[in-house]
Amino acid sequence: MGGRVAYFSTVPEIVFGCGCTDEIARFASLYGRRGVVVTGRVSGKASGVLEKIAFSLERQGLSVEVCDFISGEPTCADVDRIREVVRKSAAYFVVGAGGGSAMDAAKAAAGLAAQSDRTAVFLHEERASTGALPFLAVPTTSGSGAEVTANAVITDPDARVKKSIRGEAFLAAAVLVDPELTASCPPHTTAHSGCDALVQAVEAFVSRNATPLTDALASEAFRLLWCNLHRAYSHGSDIKARSACAWGSLLAGIALANARLGAVHGMAHSLGVRLGAPHGLICAVLMSEVVRKNMAVASRKYTRLEAIAGASLPEGLEALNRKLDIYRDFAQYTLPRHDFAAIAEESLSSSSLKANPEKFEKEDVIAVLDRLADRSESLEHH
């Protein structure tokens, strides 16, 4: 902490509460009468978010084009397609309504609205964008925190690359967190996205860039998710548990946007792009192994989380994973041992890995992946 200068920022407006999706028109009408809503192919309708947003906007006389083709983690082609709709409809704002995938696709389309180059150019050249359209975020899962971060994670399947496009222009103008929208989220998505949020809380808390401000957010996020995620998983319509997870996910997102993450997220992208597994699931299985590796340098901070959890950390995280059927879900993926060196190589350049409290060399990444593969194989034999 010492003499380092600390910075903190977040989105200018956050509205939280059951039914608050209806307020979208109040924010959208500040920017103009036409907008684009980006949502997931299934989640947009299942969560009711699309209907609620369209109703609110149309009642105020605003018109919207809907892009509801996002399924899975967004690709450069998805973002280009939304950008085309934004251009053709001369939209004044973009709404991202969904989980992390729809949110990141919407954010990138809004953030690149004034640009002419294709999305892949920004991804590969790591070029930041300016001149964005206002972006409004309505999350339908409690997980990624994408509604409060200034980056969009986009995949280029041809190049087998999954990276962030960044820029201050990507930060939402307003975020509406309506826990009612998460009530229909299926159990496995609740578990995977909730674990993403929990891991983000842990990683932000022990990050090299953590400050007392991010610690306060990350430790409370950890508490809320630790105490409520299993309930939200097993009793999806419990709105109290859903609200607690929505708060936890929001706080973890604000913490990570400022403190950054750690080794789990440093490895998760390149592993995820090979396995095709949900991001949160990968984070969940990696976390306990990374905690073991970090223990020597981060034990003081982990002790604070253990006091909240009432359990020792690597074992407690694994016990929670079992309650959420994480290992069962992960058993359908085979870890590519022959790719571990390449995954490690790619992970070393990630900014998340650089924020990890313990320095990770290539062999450390490989060792964590080996332990994960050993565990997966031993579980298969049971």
Task: Round to the nearest angstrom and report the end-to-end CA distance of the chain.
Answer: 46
Q: Measured from the CB of residue 352, what is the shortest distance to Fe ion in angstroms?
A: 9
Measure CA 220 to chain center. Answer: 18
36 within 8 A of 64, measured Cβ to Cβ:
yes
Smallest separation (angstroms) from Fe ion to the CB of 170: 16
Least distance between Fe ion and beta carbon 79 (Å): 19
> Which lies closer to Fe ion via its Cβ, residue 78 or residue 196?
196
Which residues are paired to 153 by β-bridges?
Answer: 164
Contact 163, 128 (CB under 8 A): no
- The CB-of-100 to Fe ion minimum distance in angstroms stands at 8
Nearest-approach distance from CB 215 to Fe ion, in angstroms? 19
CB nearer Fe ion, residue 68 or residue 196: 196
Q: Which is nearer to Fe ion, 129 or 193 (CB)?
A: 193
Residue closer to Fe ion (CB basis): 192 or 242: 192
Q: Which residue is nearest to Fe ion (CB)?
A: 196
Nearest CA-CA partner of 97 in 45, 148, 135, 139: 139
Phi, psi of 316 (to 5 degrees): -65, -40
Give the nearest distance from C-beta 144 to Fe ion in angstroms.
6
Distance (Å, rounded) from C-alpha 252 to C-alpha 239? 20
Nearer to Fe ion, 195 or 369 (CB): 195
**Distance between CA atoms of residues 186 and 207, nearest Å:** 31
Task: Let me know: does 42 contact 199? Beta carbons within 8 Å.
Answer: no
Do 203 and 261 contact (CB within 8 A), yes or no? Answer: yes
Helix or strand (DSSP H, E) at 206 = helix 187-206
**Shortest distance (Å) from residue 11 CB to Fe ion:** 18
Please report, as ranges, the residues that interact with Fe ion according to CB under 5 A. 196
CA dihedral 282, 285, 289, 290 (to 10 degrees): 40
Contacts of 237 (CB under 8 A, 6+ apart): 183
Of residues 73 and 196, the one with the C-beta less far from Fe ion: 196
DSSP 29: T
- Of 39 and 149, which has the nearer Cβ to Fe ion? 149
